């Protein structure tokens, strides 16, 4: 399904891109915002493996939390190893009953098998390990491109080029001036997470704006809750001019900065040893 969505967007945009390139074949083309976004979508879809460091700033209940992670990611099959604030996490698709192997940096100081979607693993965080990499972010952008349709230029704007985290970047913004919270009636079997995925919004934003909801499963059929009508009010994206992958993003809601991500030391499609996704790999602490 993800590849089909990417293909739809590329087909929608490729004719305009061809028109721009065909008259400037002998000189470096000046890319439009739409062409840059298209290239980003394709670059994200083409990634097979990633290794990077990630700096995270997230606002939760009015306070900012800061994390730093080192990540190794293989997309198919999905394999993930990361360290964050002294905690190690190993997750491999189709193994360990879907649970992540976690070595905590505090009591009980023994390896734990935890649900990636459970409250222990996502406490104080906007996202789970399932959103590591660029695909989740890419799907949000694809959804907004399709939603904007012919009014793309009303919402997406190319800003001046900047250098971020040592990389020359294209900078573009996405503005939703009509950003607001609207009523949503929970259907049978839905949770805050499934609702957020369906609407392409942040589940943390839903949780914080519905004070009677205690956790991501605390909703029931027929309940009316408030949900944002888009992922954010204002988004700033920095794209590496060389590989068209995100270097940084700043996400704002009605109260200001909601979350910020900075990608550093990105290695694109590195070769991983099979042992790097096992707990016995040298240097791991499991």
CA 89, 90, 93, 95 dihedral sign is negative
Non-local (6+) Cβ contacts of 28 within 8 A are none
pLDDT of residue 233: 98
Does residue 23 surpass a pLDDT of 70?
Answer: no
pLDDT of residue 24: 42
Taking all residues of the chain, what is their mean pLDDT, rounded to a whole number? 91
User: Where exactly are the structural domains of the chain?
Assistant: 181-228
Report the pLDDT averaged over residues 74-84.
97
Closest CA to 192 of 181, 178, 202, 180: 202
| Residue count of the chain | 286
pLDDT tens-digit readout, 123-132: 889 999 999 9
Helix or strand or coil: residue 122?
A: helix
pTM, two decimal places: 0.89
pLDDT band at 168 (very low <50, low <70, confident <90, very high): very high
pLDDT tens-digit readout, 231-277: 999 999 999 999 999 999 999 999 999 999 999 999 999 999 999 99
pLDDT of residue 17: 47
Phi, psi of 256 (to 5 degrees): 110, -150
pLDDT of residue 85: 86
pLDDT of residue 29: 73
pLDDT band at 10 (very low <50, low <70, confident <90, very high): low
C-alpha distances in Å from residue 11, one per residue of 6, 7, 18, 157, 206 = 9, 6, 11, 21, 33
Q: Decide if 58 contacts 126 (C-beta within 8 A).
A: yes
Largest CA distance in the chain: 65
Share of the chain above pLDDT 90, in %: 85
Radius of gyration (Cα) for the chain, nearest Å? 20
DSSP per-residue string spanning 18-81 = HHHHHT-TTS-----HHHHHHHHHHHHHH--EEEEEEEEEEEETTEEEEEEEEEEEETTTTEEE
Give 242: exposed, middle or buried? Use CB within 10 Å, 0-12, 13-18, 19+: exposed
Q: Decide if 204 contacts 178 (C-beta within 8 A).
A: no
Give the lowest-confidence range in 12-16, 91-95, 198-202: 12-16
The architecture that CATH gives domain 181-228 is Roll (3.10)
Tokens 């193994």 -> residue: 95
């Amino acid at each position: 399904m993800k590849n089909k969505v990417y293909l739809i967007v590329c087909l929608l945009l490729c004719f305009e891109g061809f028109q721009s390139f065909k008259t400037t074949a002998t000189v470096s083309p000046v890319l439009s915002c739409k062409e840059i976004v298209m290239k980003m979508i394709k670059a994200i879809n083409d990634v097979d493996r990633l290794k990077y460091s990630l700096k995270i700033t997230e606002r939760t209940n009015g306070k900012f939390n800061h994390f730093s992670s080192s990540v190794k990611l293989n997309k198919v099959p999905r394999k993930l190893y990361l360290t964050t604030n002294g905690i190690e996490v190993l997750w491999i698709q189709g193994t360990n009953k879907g649970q992540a192997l976690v070595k905590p940096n505090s009591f009980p100081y023994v390896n734990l098998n935890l649900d990636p979607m459970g409250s222990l693993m996502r406490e104080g965080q906007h996202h789970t390990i399932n959103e590591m990499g660029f695909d989740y972010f890419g799907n949000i952008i694809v959804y907004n491109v399709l939603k904007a349709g012919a009014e793309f230029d009303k919402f997406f704007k190319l800003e001046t080029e900047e250098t971020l985290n040592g990389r020359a970047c294209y900078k573009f913004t996405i503005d939703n001036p009509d950003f607001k919270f609207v009523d949503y009636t929970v259907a049978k079997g839905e949770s805050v997470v499934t609702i957020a995925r369906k609407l392409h919004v942040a589940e943390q934003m839903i949780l914080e704006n519905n004070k009677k909801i205690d956790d991501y499963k605390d909703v029931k059929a027929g309940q009316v809750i408030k949900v944002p009508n888009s992922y954010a009010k204002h988004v700033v994206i920095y794209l590496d001019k060389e590989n068209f992958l995100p270097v940084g993003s700043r996400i704002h809601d009605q109260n200001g900065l909601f979350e910020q991500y900075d990608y550093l030391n990105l290695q694109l499609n590195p070769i991983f040893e099979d042992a790097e996704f096992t707990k016995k790999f040298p240097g791991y602490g499991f």
